[in-house]
């Protein structure tokens, strides 16, 4: 898994074939029978209920007849998630990834990330990261995330100015790994930072908190966090429309 970052095929690896949405013969039969039942129920009713049952029924019948379901495809893990689950010996893996271009030299961006205590400055759901030694760090989740969570992570791989990978220690409450790569953008346009966060979706209350922490909403984690990283490095502050310190005006 360590050489994944070296090719630019993350987008390809994270794509899903049409096969991911193919239904098995049992699923097709169940879908057609369920659809028939729904149409039958609909025909006995009046008004809105009739329409809803008929719509559901015809959707299920056509899904079964075609043998394909867009929802099934959307819920299926992509091939990179399958690889990650296998590599970490997890049941399942969720992956969120984003890239951002930062108008600063690669060495400077790498140095900022390498000091893990800086990550808490732009990761919304992380309150604090204490660096223990050259490889290990202690992460504290923000209380706003729901439940108090702390864990240790260690750097598993690193190439100066190019790549850092880390993962939560074996006995941690959460199963999480991540890597970030640093490339020169073309013609002096700064540094492309590609960050990938992977976790095993857990169950229960802890599960909800971890999901929120690590990417239930992938855009908020990867996108907003990397945008704040870009702001810190490019302009030295986090952009705000607050009229006074602490007086945020909500977004929409």
Binding site for other proteins (CB under 8 A): 101, 103, 189-190, 219, 227, 230-231, 234-237, 239-245, 247, 249-252
Could you tell me the smallest distance in angstroms from the CB atom of residue 148 to other proteins? 29
Q: Which of 194, 238, 197, 193 is nearest to 217 (CA)?
A: 197
The answer to whether residues 114 and 157 touch, using CB atoms and an 8 Å cutoff, is no
Q: Which of 202, 250, 217 is nearest to 124 (CA)?
A: 217
* Distance of alpha carbon 34 from alpha carbon 28, whole angstroms: 10
| Residue located via tokens 């923000």 | 142
**Cβ nearer to other proteins, comparing 85 with 102:** 102
The answer to whether residues 150 and 138 touch, using CB atoms and an 8 Å cutoff, is yes
**Cβ nearer to other proteins, comparing 61 with 233:** 233
Could you tell me the smallest distance in angstroms from the CB atom of residue 217 to other proteins? 11
**Cβ nearer to other proteins, comparing 175 with 212:** 212
Could you tell me the smallest distance in angstroms from the CB atom of residue 125 to other proteins? 17
Q: Which of 75, 118, 72 is nearest to 94 (CA)?
A: 75
**Cβ nearer to other proteins, comparing 147 with 231:** 231
Could you tell me the smallest distance in angstroms from the CB atom of residue 212 to other proteins? 17
């Amino acid at each position: 898994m360590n050489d994944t970052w070296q090719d630019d095929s993350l987008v390809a690896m994270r794509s899903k074939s049409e096969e991911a949405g193919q239904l098995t013969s049992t699923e097709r039969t169940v879908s057609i029978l369920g659809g028939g039942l729904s149409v039958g129920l609909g025909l006995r009713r009046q008004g809105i209920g009739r329409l809803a049952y008929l719509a559901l029924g015809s959707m299920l019948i056509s899904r079964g007849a075609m043998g394909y379901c867009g929802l099934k495809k959307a819920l299926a893990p992509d091939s990179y998630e399958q690889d990650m689950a296998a590599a970490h010996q997890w049941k399942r893996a969720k992956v969120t990834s984003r890239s951002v271009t930062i108008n600063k030299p690669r060495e400077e961006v790498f140095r900022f990330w390498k000091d893990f205590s800086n990550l808490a400055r732009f990761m919304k759901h992380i309150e604090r990261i204490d660096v223990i030694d050259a490889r290990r760090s202690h992460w504290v989740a923000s209380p706003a995330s729901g439940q108090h969570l702390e864990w240790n992570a260690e750097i598993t791989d690193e190439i100066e100015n190019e790549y850092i990978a880390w993962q939560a220690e074996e006995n941690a409450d959460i199963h999480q790994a991540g890597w970030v790569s640093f490339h020169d953008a073309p013609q002096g346009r700064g540094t492309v930072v590609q960050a990938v966060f992977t976790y095993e979706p857990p169950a229960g209350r802890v599960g909800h908190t971890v999901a929120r922490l690590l990417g239930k909403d992938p855009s908020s984690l990867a996108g907003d966090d990397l945008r704040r990283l870009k702001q810190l490095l490019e302009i030295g502050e986090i952009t705000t429309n607050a009229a006074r310190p602490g007086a945020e005006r909500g977004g929409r």
